[in-house]
Structure 1
Amino acid sequence: MLRSTYAGRVAIITALGLGARLALIGYQPLWRDEAFTAVAVGRSLGSMLAAVRADSAPPLAYLVDHAVASVWSSPAGLRLLPAVVGAAAIPIGAALGRRIRGDRAGVMAAAVCAAAPALVLSALDARMYAVATTLVMAATLALWRAVERPVWQRFVLYALLMALALYTDYFAALAIPAQLFAVAFMLRAGWRASLAAAAAMTVAAAALVPWLVVASAQLTHAGQSFWVPSLGFASVSGEFVQFFSGPPVDAWVPLKPLLQTLQGFAVTAGVLMCFALLRQRHDLGSETRRAALFCVACGLGAVLLLLPISIWRPLVDGRYASVVWGPLFPVLGAGLAMARPRWALAGGIAATGAASLSLALAGTHPDTRGALAMLESRIGTHDLVDAYPSQYLLFLYYAPSHVLSRTIVMQQDVPWFWGTADYPPGVISSTIPRDVSSAGGAVYYVRQPDEPVASLPPGYVARATQCWTGVCVVTYRR
């Protein structure tokens, strides 16, 4: 009866988490990185793979999205994969939490995974991060089960899940050394089980080699500039705060103070969950402590590996860490299960859920369609749209053909991380086309509110500025 009650509760929480994610997948417009996905998967298969090979990611999520986009190419369709696979983290988290401290911890872990802002918001993002997070969590669970009962079928399952994670996001590779450490020092597996685990990890990593050969052009990015700030206290602390709070709120987002306050409540709830577990650590049995430390080593250990790597190349960012921090959420669930008084359970979930819901419903994505509606009504034959790189991919997805045909990115050079692999030839230009300047056409400069002003030839003066959420159009004329 107890098991059926546990299974029923986890099933209800999973259904609610999945339902909420599916209900919200079409609410927000796309943002820049999602637009890269949208433009890439809207191409032919060969053209899409060519763009992916020139960018910075493995192909699995793009291949699945390409199939979905062939029948459903709206923002909701593009987010279907992360929403469904992201929701699968709920029962997986429950299974991990149950192994830490029984049925109650499993149910609380499911609730945390259903409501946590970091998991909810990534599941509403048409990118690969939520899919990779779930696969890493599933691989962690499969590895744990394989070490407990070291039969070859379980190690094959682990290797398959880990290979899928690597083909979804390269940062999943950080989980492999952390998992091996956790198997050897937290689970204290025998040498045979440890050797089998290492062999399965090697097979999973080796499976990625053919793609790395095909996508060798991605290696050229290693020596080029990148957008992540240098390693420092702000970047490291921000990464860990995002584990509890979800993604940071941009300066131009309406109601930013309210959203940050709700995120603060979510952070407080998460810290209290950790404190509840630490406070009662001496009352835990050795198996419970070992199980909790296994999840901590797999999750936190992988995240910490970003720090030494970032000395060479800054990579400390919540999105990248999210690929491997999934095993930490069941630990929060175990802490929540031990919280006293009982009303703290509801309070902790309510705080995290409120932050997730508010971030999902607030205008945190740019209103590109609002700007395009204005441009459609005004742009003339000899006018020009100068889209800052943050806006161009959104124009490729949303703009009608007559606006897109008059749109360029007026820069000397555009770094690859703006998604230039998706850019059509000739769209980057350092000069205004002759037909615009000779006919006295207007230049409509499109940017985010916090981005640089236009760099136009002498004589062009800003005549008007109109802004929507996250995007402004500045009209320049001679």
Structure 2
Amino acid sequence: MRFRLPWWVLPALLALALRLAATLTLRPWHDEYFTAWAAGLPWSELLAALRWDSGPPLPYLLAKLLSLAGIPALVAARGLSVAAGVLATLFVGLAARRWVSASAGPWASWLFALHPLAVMWAAEGRAYGLLSLAVAWSLWVLGEQEAQGRRWLGLAAALGFGLYTHALGLVWLLAVLAYGVLARRTAVLWASGAAVLSFLPWFFVMLQQPPEAVAWMASSLRDVPAWARWLGPLRLLPPLSGWAYTLEAPAVSGSWQLIAAVVSLVCLALARG
């Protein structure tokens, strides 16, 4: 009998290769140096410093733990992101197999493995790679729960992981909670509630974090044209997205990005069949 690799192996290897290449070649930026600096602090000083940051503590704590093993803090932070990006590639495919069709899994994994934004997230020592893992993980767990009626603890863990990773984890939790309400899924509501309860200790810390730490978000959004805000999700779908420039690669025009987005949607629709 001829041996065949599992469907997820090649997308995962491609994801690993691209993310390693990116993290080894891209120059660190100031937020990554902050992560490295914070991870080098004693535990008590680390938690005190994060009260002046704009997000949850998990990325810093994980980098701190790895640095205790002798790994340089910046290397630890970027290594965590690379690992999270590869795992997210797997979970994206698994989620697509549950929510769409068996044939959609490889398509979704290949798309995520190649996407410049996903590569960028996993190439820098910040929270975004871990956040993408949290979203993909919770999507898969939610699909497994729908298909097999499993308990809600796994979903609660994935949602809690997202909450402690990045402030946008709260936005994702609200989306999952809305699904639970509209679909009348009691287990989803229990999982969301458990995740919120687990996050309460840090939530009150976040309320005291300075508004200046997140002021850049509002200014950046104002700089984006209105049409780009509405078409943003569609333009970010294909590997030809405008985020290519963040990897110091040439970015194509907006019209080509939209064409590529339509092609990606068609491919996903075909995969559903």
Q: Which has the higher helix share?
A: 2
Deviation, 1:226, is 3.9
Q: Which amino acid counterpart does residue 173 of structure 1 have in structure 2?
A: L
Partner letter of residue 335 of structure 1?
A
Following the alignment from structure 1 to structure 2, what is the Cα–Cα distance between the partners of residues 124 and 101? 29
TM, length-normalised to structure 2: 0.83
Unaligned runs of 5+ in 1: 278-333, 340-478
Determine the structure 2 residue equivalent to 1:351: none
- Equivalent position SS for 1:169: coil
CA distance, structure 2, for counterparts of residue 264 and residue 87 of structure 1: 30
Cα offset for 1:40?
Answer: 1.4
- Alignment check: 8 A CA contact 2:64 2:73 kept: no
Measure, in 1, the Cα distance between the counterparts of 2:56 and 2:111.
29
Cα deviation 1:304-340 (Å, max 9, x = unaligned): xxxxxxxxxxxxxxxxxxxxxxxxxxxxxx336379x
Gap change, CA 1:123 and 1:104, over 3 Å in 2: same
Paired residue secondary structure (1:88): helix
Distance 1:87 1:336, change over 3 A: farther
AA partner of residue 236 (structure 1): R
- Give the equivalent residue in structure 1 for 2:269: 335
The number of equivalent residue pairs is 266
Shift in CA distance, 210/24, structure 1 to aligned 2, threshold 3 Å: same
- Structure 1 residue 173: deviation in Å? 1.3
Q: 1:221 aligns with which of 207, 211, 235?
A: 211
Taking the aligned partners of 1:248 and 1:17, their CA distance within structure 2 comes to 16
Instruction: Tell whether 2:198 aligns with 1:233.
Output: no
| Deviation of 1:237 (Å) | 4.5
Q: Which amino acid aligns with 2:218?
A: V
**Could you tell me which residue of structure 1 aligns to residue 61 of structure 2?**
63
- Distance (whole Å) between structure 1 residues aligned to residue 113 and residue 157 of structure 2: 25
Distance 1:267 1:45, change over 3 A: farther
- Equivalent residues in 2 for 1:108-147, closer than 5 Å: 108-147=107-146
Shift of 1:103: 3.1
Would the aligned equivalents of 1:72 and 1:78 in 2 still touch at CA under 8 Å?
no
Specify which of 251, 258, 261 is matched with residue 260 of structure 1: 251
Listed one character per residue, the Cα deviations across residues 376-432 of structure 1 (whole Å, up to 9, x for unaligned) are xxxxxxxxxxxxxxxxxxxxxxxxxxxxxxxxxxxxxxxxxxxxxxxxxxxxxxxxx
Does the 8 Å contact 1:83/1:123 carry over to 2? yes
Distance 1:56 1:337 in 2: 39
Provide the aligned C-alpha RMSD in A: 3.2
1:227 positional shift: 4.7
Report the Cα offset of residue 196 of structure 1. Answer: 2.2
Aligned CA distance change for structure 1 residues 61 and 238 (closer, same or farther; 3 Å) = farther
Offset at residue 50 of structure 1 (A): 1.2
Structure 2: distance between partners of 1:211 and 1:115: 34
Would the alpha carbon gap of residues 127 and 234 (structure 1) be closer, same or farther in structure 2, given more than 3 Å must change? farther
Distance 1:175 1:336 in 2: 27
1:112 offset after TM fit, Å? 0.7
Amino acid at match of 2:196: A
Deviation at 1:225, TM superposition (A): 4.5
CA 1:69–1:23: 2 relative to 1, 3 Å:
farther
Greater mean alpha carbon deviation, residues 111-120 or residues 76-85: 76-85
Find the aligned partners of 2:23 and 2:215 in 1 and give their Cα distance.
Answer: 33
Distance apart, 1:35 and its partner CA: 1.8
Equivalent of 2:11 in 10, 13, 29: 13
Name the aligned partner's letter for residue 87 of structure 1. V
Give 1 or 2 for the bigger CA radius of gyration: 1
Partner Cα separation in structure 2 for residue 61 and residue 224 of structure 1: 17
Distance 1:74 1:201, change over 3 A: closer
Match of 2:203 among 191, 212, 215: 212
> How many angstroms does 1:76 deviate by?
3.7
Aligned to 1:311: none
Which residue of 51, 58, 65 maps to 2:49? 51
Higher share of residues assigned strand: 1
Cα 1:101/1:239, change in 2 over 3 Å: closer
Alpha-carbon spacing, 1:47–1:140, altered in 2? closer, same or farther (3 Å):
same
Structure 2 spans left out of the alignment, 5+ residues: none
Q: CA deviation at 1:201?
A: 0.4
The structure-2 alpha-carbon separation of the partners of 1:26 and 1:260, relative to structure 1 and needing over 3 Å to count, comes to same
Residue in structure 1 matched with residue 175 of structure 2 by the alignment: 178
Between 1:236-245 and 1:80-89, the stretch displaced more is 236-245
TM-score by length of 1: 0.50
Matched residues in 1 for 2:95 and 2:214: separation?
A: 40
State how far apart, in whole Å, the 1-side matches of 2:254 and 2:31 are: 23
- Report what 1:85 is aligned to: 84
Whole-Å separation in 1 of the counterparts to 2:211 and 2:237:
27
Structure 2 contact 39–64 (Cα < 8 Å) conserved: yes
